Amino acid sequence: MKYASRIYLCLIFSVLYIPIFTLILFSFNVENSTAEFAGFSLRWYIELFNSPETFTALRNTLLLAVLSALLSTVIGTAAAEGIYKMRSRFIKGAITSVTNIPMMNPDIVTGMSMMLFFAAVMGIFKISDYNEIGFAAMLIAHTTFCLPYVILSVLPRINELGDSLSEAALDLGCTPVSAFFRVKLPNIMPGVISGMVMAFTLSLDDFVISYFVGPTNFQTLPLLIYSMTKKKVTPDMYALSTIIIVSVFILLIISNIRSGKRADENKRKRGAVK
Amino acid sequence: MKKKSLMRSIAAAPHIFWAVLFIVLPLIIVGVYAFTDAEGNFSLANIAALTDYVPIFWLSLELSVIATAVCLVIGYPLAYIIAKSSPRAQKIFIMLLMLPMWTNLLIRTYSIMAILDDGGFLNTLLNTSFHIVGTKGAVIFGMVYDFLPYMVLPIYTCVSKIDKHMWEAASDLGCSPVKTMLKVIFPLSMSGIISGVTMVLVPSISTFYISQKLGGGTFELIGDTIERQFVTGALNVGAAISLVMMVLILISITVMNRFSEGDEGGIIV
Amino acid sequence: MKKIIALLFTLLPIFLLLSCSGGSPEAPDAQAPRRERGDVVTLNVYNWGEYISDGFEGSLDTNAAFEEYFNTHLSEKYGGITVEVNYTTFANNEEMYSKLKNSAVVYDIVVPSDYMIEKMIAEDMLLAFDVAADIPNYVYIDEAFRSSPYYDPTAQYTVPYTYGMMGIIYNTAMVDEADIGSWDLMWNDKYAGKILQFNNPRDAFATAMYLLGLDVNSNDRDDWAAAYDKLLLQKPLVQGYVNDEVFNKMTSESAAIAPYYVGDFITMADQEENLAFYYPKEGVNYFVDAMCIPKSSKNPDIAKEYMNFMLSEEAAIANAEYIGYASPNTLVYENEEYREYMGEFAIDLLYGYSPDEVNASYNAIYGKDASCYHNFTPDIQSRVNTLWENLKIADSTELWVHVTAGLIVAAVLALAIGTTYIKKKRSKFYRERDKKAKKS
C-alpha cells in the first residue's frame, strides 16, 4: 500500500513537472526553438537582461500584485471581522454571496464586466484617455477578484477564535479597536497571511482579467507573453519563468527550513517543561 | 441595540461599498449591454443570437465536465496520500504542488504544446509521430494539468482536518478499510470535493488560451467565442453570452452547495 | 445624419489644411497641448508584436534610439521637453481596433494593415495631415507606396512601414514538388493532418476564394458561402488553425504545409532548411502595414517626429533586418549592407527587383496582380463572422466526448439521488424509532 501510494505520487508529480523541466531545459537552448534542443547556452538569459520591455512588465506585475494583495488584505480582513459580527443571517448571507461572485464567476465574465464598467466610468466623467485611469482600473480589478479569497481565508479563523479573547481584552480596558489589533489580529494572522499570499499569487498569475482591463501604459507579464504572438514565444520567456520558479523554490525552501527549525525548538522547549 | 449591531459591523463597510461598486454594478452593466444593441436601444437580438452558440456551449460543458472528473479521480487519491503523510512531507508535497502555479499559465500551456506537438519534444525524443495537439484529449489534458492543484488543495484541507481516530472508530465498529473510505472519509470530505469541483469546472468552462493552443484552433470553446466577440468589437453579443454563462454557473454552484451542507470556507488551505 | 458625417468627413482635411497653412510654420501644432520646459511627454506607440528592432542580440533598440535622438536634438525645438516612448503590442488588427474604439485608449501611433486603415479612415479615427511636408524622410518612401487606391488614395493618413505578400510555405522533405504551384496544395488529401490554415477569418477565407477564383473583396454573399463550403471540405485535412504557432509547427516539422507571409517564411527558413515557399498562381494577398496617427493623439507633432525617425536609414534598416518583412523605404532596400545581411535569396523573394516589382514579377508570371483586402461592409462582415463560427462548430463534437461526459453526469446524478434517498430513509427510520421510544 505504501509503495503503491509512493509510486502514485511520483507518477503525478513527474507528469506535473515534465513541462516545467522542459521549459527550464529549453531556456538554455542555443537555438531559437522551443521544440529542438541544440545545445547549452546562456544566450536567452543575456537576452532577457537586455530587454527593457520584459523588465518593465515584470516590475509592473510585481507592483500590481503587491499593491492589490495589500489592499485586498486590509479590506478583506476588516470585512471578515465585520461579517463575523453581523447578527442578521440574511445580510450575512447576502454579503458573502456577493463577495463570492468574482470567485465563482468565470474570469472572462469578470473581465468583461470590469471593462464595460470602466468604459461607463470614462463616459460619465468625460475621460478621453483610458490610460489615465488604466492603472487604477487594473488595481481595482485585481483587488476585486482577490477579495473573496482573503475573506474566505480569514473568516474561518475569526469563527474559530470566537469572542472570548476579545471580550476579555475589553474587560481589561481595551478599546474595541485596540482589542482587535492587539488581541485578535495576532491570533488570526496565519489566515491573514495565507490570504495575502493567495491574493499575491492570483494577481501575479492573472491573465484573463488583465487582458480585458489592461491599459497600454501598464503592461503586465502575462499580457506581454500573450502579445508576443505575432511571431512566437522565444526561449527568453522560458528563461524568465525559470528564474521566477527557481527563486520561488529557494524562498519556499528557506521558509520551510526556518519554520522547521522553529517547530523543533518548540518541541524541545515543550520537552523541557515536561 | 440595532445601532450597536450596526456599529459592530462597521468594519465591513469599506468592503460592502467596494462590492456594490465593483462587483454588482459591473454585472448590471453587462446585463444592460446584453439587452441593448450597438446604438444603446433595447433589443432582444443578442439573446436570440445565442441559439447559434448552443453547440459551442455544449462542447465546453462536456470537455470541462470530463476534465473535472479526471481531476477528481486523480486529485482525490493524491490529496488523501498527502494528508496521510508526515507533517514535514505534507508541507513539501503541497509546496511541490503549488510551485508550477508560479509559472504563468500561458507559459505552462505553451510548454505543453511544445512537448506534445507532432514534431514536438516528445515525438522527436521517441522518434514517433503521435498526433495529440489539436485533439479534444489534448485540451482536456491541458485543463487537468493547469487546474489540478485547485482540486487537490481543498480536498487535502478537508481530509487533513478529519480526526485520525475516525478510522479506528470505524474499524472498531466493524467497517472494512474500503467501507470506511466510502462511508466515513468520503462523505466527510464532501465539502472539499465540492469546492474542488467548482474551482476546476469554472475556469475550464471559460478558458480560452488552452483551447487555442492545445486544440489547434480546430474547434472553439465558449471562452474563445466571448474573446472573439470582444476583439471584433461585438460587445453586446459577448455580454449576452457572458450573462447566460454566468447565470448558469451561479445556479449550478448554488445547487452543488446544497449538497455540501452549509460548510463554509473549505476552499482555502 | 450619415450625410452630415460624410460632409464633415470631406470638409475635415480642407479645414485641417487651412488651419495648418494659416499659422506661422514655427508655431506648434494647433492640437498640441501646452507643454512646459522640463515636461516628460509620453509617446504611446501601439504596434504588432515583434515588429520593431528591440536591441535583440546587439541590434539597435529603435525606441531607445528615438528617445535619445529626440532628447538631444529636438528637445529645444519643442520647448525643452523630453520624450519617453511607451511601446505596446497587439496580435491582430481587430485587437488594436477594439482597444482604440471600445476601451478608448489613447495612442499617438498605431500600425494597422491596409483594410483596417480603410475602416479607421471611414470611421474618422485617423488624423489627416500633410504627410510629405510634415515628414521630411517621407521622400525615401518608394513612389509605389506613397498612396494606395486601397486605403489611402490621397496619401494623407499613412506612412508605410512594411509590406509583403502571402504564399504557401512547405517542407520539401514532406511535400512532392509535383504538387506545388497552386492553392489546391492545401486541399490535397495526400497531406491530410499535415496542413495548417490561418486562424483568422479574413486570411482563411482568402485562401479558399483565391482557389475558387472569387474576389476576396466580394460583396456577394454567395461567394462567401462557396468559400465556406471549400473550407469545410478542407477541415478534416487540417492539423490546426494557427497564428503564431505556425513558426514552431513548421520549424519543428510538425506540419508540412502552411499559408503565411513571405517575411515570416524567411525567419522560419533560417531555422529549418527544408522549408520552401511559393506564391500560388491563382492570386495572393498583398498587404501594407502603415504608421498612422489616431485622432485622439495628444502629441501628433511628436508622433510625426517618431515616424520621421523610423524612416531614417539606421532605424529603418534595423527594423527591416529584425522583422524580416519587406520595407518600402528606398534607403533600406538599396543599402548594400542590408542586402548582404538578408542574403540574395531573401531579397529576391521579398523585393523582386525593386519594391514595386514583387507585384510586377508576380504579374509577369501569372498575368494577374496580387490583391489587397478592402474593409468589409457591415453586412459581409457579420456574414463572414457567422460562417467562420460555423466552420469552427462543424463536426467539432466527437462521440466519445458525448458518451464520457454523459456517463459522468449520470454517475453524479445517481450518486446525488442515491445519497439523498438513503438519507431520507435513514432519518425516517430514526424519527420512527424515536417516536416508538417516546411512546414506550
Residue A72 has pLDDT above 90, yes or no: yes
CA dist B238 and B259 (Å) reads 32
Condensed to tens digits (0 to 9), the pLDDT of residues C391-410 reads: 988 876 788 888 999 999 99
Residue B106 has pLDDT above 70, yes or no: yes
CA dist C384 and C220 (Å) reads 11
Is any Cβ of chain C less than 8 angstroms from the Cβ of A232? yes
B99: its cell numbers = 510551485
Q: How sure is the predictor about B269, in pLDDT bands with cuts at 50, 70 and 90?
A: very low
Residue C156 has pLDDT above 60, yes or no: yes
Q: Which residue of A has its CA nearest to C264?
A: A231
Element (H, E) at C40: strand C40-48
Q: Which of residues 163-192 of A touch B (CB under 8 A)?
A: none
Question: Measured between CB atoms, which of C86, C99, C296 is closest to A128?
Answer: C296
Q: Are residues A2 and A129 in the same domain?
A: no
SS3 label, residue C286 = strand
Residue B145: predicted pLDDT: 95
| Nearest Cα to Cα of residue C293 among C74, C154, C107, C19 | C107
- Is B4 part of a structural domain of the chain? no
- Is B173 part of a structural domain of the chain? yes
The range of the structural domain enclosing residue C381 comes to 164-286+370-393
CA dist C138 and C142 (Å) reads 9
To the nearest whole Å, the CA of B13 is away from the closest chain C CA by 31
Residue A66: predicted pLDDT: 96
**Quick one: what percent of chain A has pLDDT higher than 70?**
94
Q: Are residues A175 and A127 in the same domain?
A: yes
Q: Are C248 and B117 in contact (CB under 8 A)?
A: yes
- Is A160 part of a structural domain of the chain? yes
Domains of chain B: total: 1
Cβ pair B218:C241 closer than 8 A = yes
Neighboring chain A residues of B92 at a CB cutoff of 8 Å: 256
CA dist A179 and A171 (Å) reads 10
Q: How sure is the predictor about C253, in pLDDT bands with cuts at 50, 70 and 90?
A: confident
The residue ranges of DSSP E strands in B34-77, in sequence order, are: none
Residue C418: predicted pLDDT: 87
Q: What count of other Cβ atoms lies within 10 Å of the Cβ of residue C206?
A: 24
Domains of chain C: total: 2
Identify the CATH number of the domain in which residue B59 sits: 1.10.3720.10
To the nearest whole Å, the CA of A4 is away from the closest chain B CA by 10
Residue C28 has pLDDT above 50, yes or no: no
Handedness of CA A240, A246, A249, A255 (dihedral sign): negative
The range of the structural domain enclosing residue A184 comes to 56-227
- Is A49 part of a structural domain of the chain? no
Mutate to test the interface with B, among C408, C409, C417 (most CBs of B within 10 A): C408
To the nearest whole Å, the CA of C41 is away from the closest chain A CA by 13
Chains interfacing with C (3 or more CB pairs < 8 Å): A, B
Q: Are residues A109 and A201 in the same domain?
A: yes
Neighboring chain B residues of A5 at a CB cutoff of 8 Å: 77, 81, 84
Is any Cβ of chain C less than 8 angstroms from the Cβ of A148? no
To the nearest whole Å, the CA of A16 is away from the closest chain B CA by 7
- Is C358 part of a structural domain of the chain? no
Residue B103 has pLDDT above 70, yes or no: yes
Q: Kindly state the average pLDDT of the residues C187-203.
A: 92
- Is B161 part of a structural domain of the chain? yes
Q: Kindly state the average pLDDT of the residues C265-281.
A: 89
Identify the CATH number of the domain in which residue A112 sits: 1.10.3720.10
Cβ pair A5:B24 closer than 8 A = no
Q: Kindly state the average pLDDT of the residues C14-31.
A: 40
Average pLDDT over chain A reads: 86
- Is C360 part of a structural domain of the chain? no
Residue C26 has pLDDT above 80, yes or no: no
Residue C15: predicted pLDDT: 38
Residue B61: predicted pLDDT: 92
Q: Are residues C119 and C224 in the same domain?
A: no
Q: Are residues A200 and A153 in the same domain?
A: yes
- Is B187 part of a structural domain of the chain? yes
Q: What is the ipTM of this complex?
A: 0.84
Question: Measured between CB atoms, which of C95, C248, C409 is closest to B117?
Answer: C248
Neighboring chain A residues of C46 at a CB cutoff of 8 Å: 216
Q: How sure is the predictor about C356, in pLDDT bands with cuts at 50, 70 and 90?
A: low
Neighboring chain B residues of C378 at a CB cutoff of 8 Å: none
Q: Are residues A205 and A124 in the same domain?
A: yes
Question: Measured between CB atoms, which of C48, C61, C99 is closest to A230?
Answer: C48
Condensed to tens digits (0 to 9), the pLDDT of residues B110-155 reads: 889 888 888 888 888 888 888 888 889 999 999 999 999 999 999 9
Chains interfacing with B (3 or more CB pairs < 8 Å): A, C
- Is A2 part of a structural domain of the chain? yes
To the nearest whole Å, the CA of A185 is away from the closest chain B CA by 13
User: Can you name the residues that pair with C41 across neighbouring β-strands?
Assistant: C83
- Is A31 part of a structural domain of the chain? yes
Residue B264: predicted pLDDT: 42
Neighboring chain A residues of C90 at a CB cutoff of 8 Å: 227
Residue C29: predicted pLDDT: 45
pTM (2 d.p.): 0.84
Question: Measured between CB atoms, which of A78, A201, A207 is closest to B14?
Answer: A78
Q: How sure is the predictor about A56, in pLDDT bands with cuts at 50, 70 and 90?
A: confident
- Is A215 part of a structural domain of the chain? yes
Chains interfacing with A (3 or more CB pairs < 8 Å): B, C
Q: Which residue of A has its CA nearest to B242?
A: A109
CA dist C63 and C61 (Å) reads 6
Average pLDDT over chain B reads: 85
Q: Are residues C260 and C380 in the same domain?
A: yes
Mutate to test the interface with B, among A112, A157, A264 (most CBs of B within 10 A): A112
Residue C191: predicted pLDDT: 94
Q: Are residues A222 and A240 in the same domain?
A: no
Q: Are B211 and B203 in contact (CB under 8 A)?
A: no
- Is C433 part of a structural domain of the chain? no
Cβ pair A129:C296 closer than 8 A = yes
Q: Which residue of C has its CA nearest to A52?
A: C54
- Is A165 part of a structural domain of the chain? yes
Q: Are residues A111 and A246 in the same domain?
A: no
Q: Are residues C184 and C282 in the same domain?
A: yes
Residue C247: predicted pLDDT: 85
Q: Are residues A35 and A140 in the same domain?
A: no
- Is C410 part of a structural domain of the chain? no
Residue C3: predicted pLDDT: 40
- Is C130 part of a structural domain of the chain? yes
Neighboring chain B residues of C242 at a CB cutoff of 8 Å: 216-217
- Is C6 part of a structural domain of the chain? no
| One-letter amino acid for residue C371 of the chain | S
- Is B31 part of a structural domain of the chain? no
- Is C426 part of a structural domain of the chain? no
To the nearest whole Å, the CA of A232 is away from the closest chain C CA by 5
- Is C314 part of a structural domain of the chain? yes
Q: Are residues C133 and C191 in the same domain?
A: no
Cβ pair A87:B12 closer than 8 A = no
Alpha-carbon Rg of chain A, whole angstroms?
23
CA dist B158 and C390 (Å) reads 44
CA dist C292 and A107 (Å) reads 34
- Is A264 part of a structural domain of the chain? no
- Is A266 part of a structural domain of the chain? no
Domains of chain A: total: 2
To the nearest whole Å, the CA of A122 is away from the closest chain B CA by 13
Q: Are residues A215 and A240 in the same domain?
A: no
Q: Are residues C208 and C278 in the same domain?
A: yes
Q: Are residues A21 and A135 in the same domain?
A: no
Q: Which long-range contacts (CB under 8 A, 24 or more apart) does B244-248 make?
A: B244/B47, B244/B50, B245/A106, B245/A109, B245/B57, B245/B205, B245/B206, B246/A105, B246/A106, B246/A109, B246/B27, B246/B30
Average pLDDT over chain C reads: 85
Q: Are residues A138 and A213 in the same domain?
A: yes
> 3-state SS string over A82-126?
HHHHCCCHHHHHHHHHHHHHHHHCCHHHHHHHHHHHHHHHHHHHC
Q: How sure is the predictor about C9, in pLDDT bands with cuts at 50, 70 and 90?
A: very low
Residue C337: predicted pLDDT: 92
Q: How sure is the predictor about A274, in pLDDT bands with cuts at 50, 70 and 90?
A: very low
Neighboring chain B residues of C241 at a CB cutoff of 8 Å: 216-218
Q: Kindly state the average pLDDT of the residues C253-263.
A: 92
The range of the structural domain enclosing residue B137 comes to 54-259
Pick the most confident of A156-160, B177-181, B184-188, B241-245. B241-245
Residue B234 has pLDDT above 50, yes or no: yes
CA dist A190 and C51 (Å) reads 47
Q: How sure is the predictor about C203, in pLDDT bands with cuts at 50, 70 and 90?
A: very high
CB within 8 A of C191, min separation 6: which ones? C174, C175, C185, C237, C256, C257
Q: Are residues A254 and A213 in the same domain?
A: no
SS3 label, residue C87 = strand
- Is B36 part of a structural domain of the chain? no
Identify the CATH number of the domain in which residue C107 sits: 3.40.190.10
